[in-house]
Amino acid sequence: MRGAVRGAIAALVTTATGAAITGGGVYAAGALFDDGPAAARPAATTRAPVTATEPITRGDLIDEE
């Protein structure tokens, strides 16, 4: 049942607006909620870990007035 509903929604969302909503790709019926083709996904990126320049102390966490 869910696949049929998804297929019906996918069939309705094949206009230019639908393509914009789905990220520019027209998915196969029933796959509207998929991430899309792997080629259309951005490549995974790696980030350097965030490091503090000075240690955080208990006094930094207390709001001094």
Read off the pTM: 0.21
What is the chain's pLDDT, residue by residue, as a tens digit (65 residues)? Answer: 667 777 777 766 655 455 555 554 554 444 555 555 655 556 666 666 666 677 777 776 766 65
- Nearest-angstrom CA–CA distance, 32 and 30: 6
Instruction: Name the one residue in this structure whose structure tokens are 């208990």.
Output: 58
CA 59 to chain centre: 38
Instruction: Name the one residue in this structure whose structure tokens are 């995974």.
Output: 44
- Nearest-angstrom CA–CA distance, 5 and 62: 54
Pair 27, 9: CB distance under 8 Å: no
